[in-house]
Amino acid sequence: MKLLKSFFIIIFTVTVNTLGFSQKKVSLLVAEYDKDGAVNHNQHLIKYVFSDGIMIAREPIVTTPIQKEKEGKKVDYVRFDIGKNRIYRNRYLITGIGNIIDIKNKKVVMDDHAPFVSFNGDSVIFYTDDIFKGKYYSIYNLRTEKYHKVENANYNPSPTPNVDVDVISRPFSISYYDIKGKQTVLVNDAGYGEPLPISGGKIKRKLPLLWIDKKYFIYANYDKSQKTASIYKVGLDKSLEKITAIDSIPLTNSNTFFEYDANGSIIYSCGKGRFIIDLNKKQANKIVYENVSNNFLIESIENPNYGRVIKFEDAEIGKKWCRFDNAQTIKEYIAIENDMVAGNDRYFHGVAVWNNITKKWTTLKVFELATIVGWMQEE
């Protein structure tokens, strides 16, 4: 009797453990250029499935050309390699140029493109500002799979007021326009804009600006030498407050910009580096480790001896030759572009994935990376 009782206890324990520790699956979406991409211009969207930290499957989702013929010219078609990709409802991928892919059904549901604005339930909202097409909002309905232009001229899904920067005159000025189009000049002297980037014919001088709520925004006021940027907080009530200044800013190959990090901190990125802008303490603090979300940190400046230190929950998990701006994370997983460096030569060496389950690195053998798109939770 005692033996039978012990048998049932063992069976019950095994059953409970099996149910309680069922496999946790996540998937990493990676866009890869075709091996003959120089000829066929194709990209592949691939899903790499992980179960309890182990990569168990590689699943193709869609293959698309990056360009198509339109009116005798080649134009962008579906592009994963431009701008920021977004995954919505753990099912839809909205590319950086506005294409929409249904990952579940493995199909492109919208190959048209426009700058993304926001999500609203079943709606994906875009905004077009084109010299030929004009200015208008458009909406794609994920449920009906219909796309239409918004004809209501007063429609504005943007959570921030309409502010415009006059970059024609020097110094620049900033104005607010109410719903009736009435102009109110908020800043008469907004500086001279950022230094013109060293290279890039399509890159133009800009005035970086970031809304911090519906009444206030911050911007970078560059002096006439364009080597010092003063960060100002501006209100729709015309209030103006200097937060801090960054001097001795060198030229760079790209535009400067504001953004929020994973903790909601305000970041300003310029030729001198990346800074956390502390509005309360009125400071610009240079970033040592970039917060790439889900408790993962990557060293901001690449070290010529080892690349970058990568941390999870403040503990080092490795050193890699990688970037921080295209790292993708989900709870307990991080994926980074993995390079190999030999002297002055640098080679792409696949996508490196680390997880907090096995606490090991896995290298995905990607032939040529277009971009690391992001993670999905498997059902």
> Would you state the pLDDT for residue 72?
78
Residues 26 and 100 in one domain: yes
Angle at 307 between CA 283 and CA 95, to 5 degrees: 75
Q: What is the pTM of this model?
A: 0.86
How far apart CA 228 and CA 256 sit, in angstroms, is: 13
Is 134 domain-assigned?
Answer: no
Q: Which residues of the chain have pLDDT under 70?
A: 1-23, 198-205
Torsion angles phi and psi, residue 5, rounded to 5 = -65, -40
> Would you state the pLDDT for residue 10?
43
Query: Count of domains in the chain?
Result: 2
How far apart CA 51 and CA 53 sit, in angstroms, is: 5
Residues 98 and 38 in one domain: yes
> Would you state the pLDDT for residue 6?
46
Is 277 domain-assigned?
Answer: no
Residues 248 and 300 in one domain: no
* Domain residue limits at 81: 20-113+291-377
CB atoms within 10 A of CB 375: 22
Q: What are the strands of the beta sheet with 289-291, ordered from one edge?
A: 289-291, 296-299, 308-312, 315-320
Residues 170 and 247 in one domain: yes
- Characterize the bridge pairing of strands 266-270 and 257-260: antiparallel
Number of C-alpha atoms within 13 angstroms, CB side, residue 80?
28
> Would you state the pLDDT for residue 4?
45
> Would you state the pLDDT for residue 253?
81
